[in-house]
Structure 1
């Protein structure tokens, strides 16, 4: 009887009630096992090195111990465009993302609460990347979780024209630090330029006009030319243009100018002045003396100039006047004119600029 009682006590003492959870499915297990490994063996739960068991297999169990087993499973996924298969003991997508140690703001194709066993398609994870974008000549950085160039363009709301150029194929996978240049190209743009066409001028001899006289008989008017170019713009800047057409829409009208050929009659020369101050032969000299000295050929006011043509001492002597008199006022009008002719031969009427201009001699 005593032995029976002792055996019963030993049986009761070694029998334990354990909570066994396998991948979230819990059950109560009666066991005589002493360690977690023994309990799992008696419960016919096979575990591998990849599985996660808590507490570990060598832990002694007591009545009420909870054993959790998370069976390792394989998951097909694409991480930043790279296909791979990973083994995980996680239960949800959030568990897997945590195990992969990717950024929490990564783009994931399924909800984080989704059970891994409930995935119908391979999981896609795209981590945040900084891409330098150059668009319309402006450069800026964009943080994105897009996987490809095409997805990035769609995300940024950028529509490409058929002629636009990309520095990378649209199918290319994005990587952190990547630079993407978008070049806007506009070809076939028409540019119309309107410009004046100059008119020609024709001179026609006219015997009714004196020599040196001109008269416009037909007023010239410019024409108009329309030129069409085909241009190519790159990022808004013209890089080439091709001539398409050139048309003179308005013909110019040539100007006509009548040019006089009629000879002028020579005017008779005035009589020569007498030594007392009357004008000598040679109308120009007489008129010039009248302007320079009031027609007084022997004037000497002491201002450095004397005579009818107001010679300076240096001009008078330099032109040979010293052979007649020390200063011009002492010479006859004819002698003064002879010296003046020498000056005019070397320098023209410019020796008497004011009066010569007044008389129209310059």
Structure 2
């Protein structure tokens, strides 16, 4: 009987121990279970978990994150009952930054969030508004401000620009290129910091006309009525004129090339006509006491021409007695020679006698008065 009681007590004690363990286990189970709010990309849900860290909750909820995703609090943080976890998963965004294209993983919601995430200046040139939903933008093109140097029309200036390419820069700066102008870099060149761009102005449309003289020719005619040492210009030569047209190449306003494109005679030259004598000049007549030669007429010739009967002074008066051509011909001197200085002294005196018989010594007023003939 005693043994039976003893065994019963042992059995009851064992049952009590098991029940106690179950109670404590249940209490521990209930105490370790937590309710956590998990929000993934704006979708919230309640998660019951025995986990102690954010990563435990994510694992139990089947949410996988990587280094690009944004998890708040951090995955290693401890989580308590009633806590909340927010996950924003990174999404691929096509980005073109200063001409370089790539795919970036971003948790940004708007374009403004993206440029803040990238550390880009807000005064950059953007292909979409700052408040645009990033999910609705297929490609974000960003051009950051850059300092460039532009040389054009003889001036060099530094400019701040957000233009993406050289072509965009020209448009932005309102620089118009001529059909022959040259760029130091192609229009498709991306604009980078400290870019140097030179526009060379080339003008092939300018022309210039230059006038040049054309020398006249001389036509010589022999005249047997003139002495061989005499020459008379019967028609004065006149130079002609030709106009040459050149096409110019100007580089930044300076001429670098010229090409003759037209050469035309605008005024024909007039040839000069000259008569030269062929008659042999006779030996000078010996001096005599002939009063006509050695007397009054000789004195008058000495006063008029220094006694040079062959002088052509070039002022329209000829010979020892300084006839003009009309007086000479009017008095009949043409039968001796075309001009007075071509005739002999005796022939000049004979003609002068004819002239004196019609008008007297007044045909030589100054010298006649000096000699007391008037």
TM over 0.5: yes
| Counterpart Cα distance in 2 of 1:111 and 1:11 | 53
Highest CA radius of gyration, 1 or 2? 2
Give the superposition deviation at 1:184: 1.9
Q: Where does the alignment leave 5 or more consecutive residues of structure 2 unmatched?
A: 1-19, 290-298, 300-374
Rounded to whole Å, the distance in 2 between the matches of 1:193 and 1:156 is 39
The equivalent of 2:100 in structure 1 is 82
- What's the counterpart of residue 133 of structure 2? 115
* Cα 1:41–1:230 shift into 2, 3 Å: same
TM-score normalised to structure 2 length? 0.57
CA contact (8 A) 1:17 1:28 kept: no
Match of 2:179 among 155, 162, 173: 162
Runs of 4 or more, structure 1, over 6 Å off, are 6-17, 202-215, 257-267
Q: Could you list the per-position Cα deviations for residues 176-213 of structure 1 after superposition, in whole angstroms to 9, with x for gaps in the alignment?
A: 22222222222254322233334456677889999999
Cα offsets for 1:36-90 (capped at 9, x unmatched) = 3344445443322331111122334456644321112222222222221222222
Secondary structure in 2 aligned to 1:77?
A: strand
CA distance in 2, matches of 1:134, 1:88: 40
Q: 3-state DSSP class of the match of 1:153?
A: helix
Aligned length: 268
- Contact 2:36–2:49 (Cα < 8 Å) also in 1: no
Task: Find the partner of 1:102 among 120, 127, 131.
Answer: 120
SS at match of 1:117: helix
RMSD over aligned CA atoms reads 4.2
Measure how far apart 1:255 and its partner are: 4.0
Is residue 211–residue 263 contact of structure 1 (8 Å, CA) maintained in 2? no
Give the direction of change, closer, same or farther, for the CA distance of 1:179–1:49 in structure 2 (3 Å limit): closer
Q: 2:158 aligns with which of 138, 141, 155?
A: 141
Q: Distance in 1 between matches of 2:288 and 2:181?
A: 87
Partner of 1:71: 89
Q: TM-score, normalised by structure 1?
A: 0.59
**Equivalent in the alignment of 2:66:** 48
* Structure 1 or 2: more helix by fraction: 2
Residue 229 in structure 1 maps to residue 246 in structure 2: yes
Cα separation, 2, equivalents of 1:124 and 1:263 = 109
Distance across 2 between alignment mates of 1:46 and 1:31: 17
Q: What is the rounded CA distance, in whole Å, between the counterparts of 1:266 and 1:16 in structure 2?
A: 159
